[in-house]
Amino acid sequence: WELPYASGTLLGPVYGSPIEQIQILPVKTPTELQKRYLVFINRDKVGLQILPVDGNPHKTSALICHPSGVAGLTLSYDGRYAFTAGGLDRSVVQWEINLSALEAAVSLGGEDLTPFYGLVAGGREGKFYRELEDYFYYSQLRSQGIDMMETRKVSEYICLSELPFVMRAIGFYPSEEKIEDMFNEIRFSEYVDTGKLTDKVNLPDFFKVYLNHRPPFGNTMTGIQQSFDILGFTNSKGKKVIRREDFLKLLLTKGEHMTEEEMSDCFATLFGLNPEGWKSEPAASSVKGSEICFEEELPDEITAEIFTTGILGLTISQDSGQDPTVSEVGRNV
């Protein structure tokens, strides 16, 4: 689940269904206001969350309270107990809240970035995090200019404008709206304390922003196929497809649409073509002009599989019993 908190998007553990009800534990003294706790229920579980939410998976705990479904939640006046009411089981259960046990789990999980390393494949020493570090520092070279001969200034920060490029390099392709959300989250991260906006981000903060904003279950073929089911039509073979001319028109006119130049640059990169050659084509009609440019590379009818593997250059991995996911292999095309 994702929880907007203090102008940010924070990711919490998934317990099988969305949160249905929340309550904040009451406090008895002003000192207890420094750390608050949230009690929640979903379809069949009751859980406890340490506030503020920051994406640390150890700050949340939940267990099954009513297997057939929980109907409601309430707290005792002193916050020591939670009461859950079942639906079909017609029972009410009293739960003693043990904050020390949850705090102990947080302590055992480690400090700083240690709890977050386990959220990516291989952890701190894994291939993914090593690549993320490389791309982060490569972006410093990019922002300073690849061909510069002057002495470079190495820092622990990158410009905020470089953030979407690094995100895409490691396999996360956020929408423009999502990018703006991330920008604002970082810009105002220190505003309450300093009154100033932030225009740069360091690696630890970048890593946390990535973890909290990336799709928690990755990109699945089911999601891509659903888009083709809506936008396409059923061809003579019974498959949902989008015609090439409609596909190009959608990219230019719908949603966070691209300009013709942006689309040309993207296809030139994906297909390994010379961008200058694309720009020289006649553009009296943007859709028709693009169709002429791409007709040798794009098929007349595009399926979800062709779009994923043939155009984007990604691979489809199939885990037994699970929805096929779009692998990040090929993200560097």
Q: What is the pLDDT of residues 21-31, one digit of tens each?
A: 999 999 877 77
User: What average pLDDT does this structure show over 33-37?
Assistant: 82
Q: Is 283's pLDDT higher than 50?
A: no
Residue 154, beta-bridge partner list: none
**pTM for the structure as a whole:** 0.76
Residue 45, φ and ψ in degrees, nearest 5: -130, 155
CA terminus-to-terminus distance, the chain: 31
What is residue 145's predicted lDDT score, i.e. its pLDDT? 67
Q: Which position has the higher pLDDT, 318 or 99? A: 99
Determine the Cα–Cα distance for residues 258 and 253; give it in Å rounded to an integer.
7
Largest CA distance in the chain: 75
What is residue 329's predicted lDDT score, i.e. its pLDDT? 39
Residue written as token pair 């009690």: 39
**Measured torsion, CA atoms of residues 173, 174, 180, 184, in degrees rounded to the nearest 10:** -90
Sheet-wide strand order for 325-327: 219-220, 325-327, 315-317
What is residue 291's predicted lDDT score, i.e. its pLDDT? 45
Comparing C-alpha atoms, which of 125, 172, 139 is closest to residue 11? 172
Determine the Cα–Cα distance for residues 274 and 279; give it in Å rounded to an integer.
9
Q: Is 263's pLDDT higher than 80?
A: yes
Mean confidence (pLDDT) of the chain: 82
What is residue 324's predicted lDDT score, i.e. its pLDDT? 57
Determine the Cα–Cα distance for residues 96 and 83; give it in Å rounded to an integer.
9
Residues 204-232 as b/e (b if ≥16 CB within 10 A, e otherwise) read: ebbbbbbbbbbeeeebbbeebbeebeeeb
Residue 158, φ and ψ in degrees, nearest 5: -125, 155
Q: Is 280's pLDDT higher than 60?
A: no
Cα 299 to Cα 63, 162, 294, 306: the distances in Å are 51, 34, 9, 9
Work out whether the CA dihedral 106, 111, 113, 117 comes out positive or negative.
negative
User: What average pLDDT does this structure show over 255-283?
Assistant: 70
Q: How far is CA 12 from the centre of its chain?
A: 12
Determine the Cα–Cα distance for residues 232 and 301; give it in Å rounded to an integer.
10
Max mean pLDDT among 27-36, 244-253, 264-273 falls in 244-253
Residue type, 204: P
**Measured torsion, CA atoms of residues 47, 50, 51, 54, in degrees rounded to the nearest 10:** -100
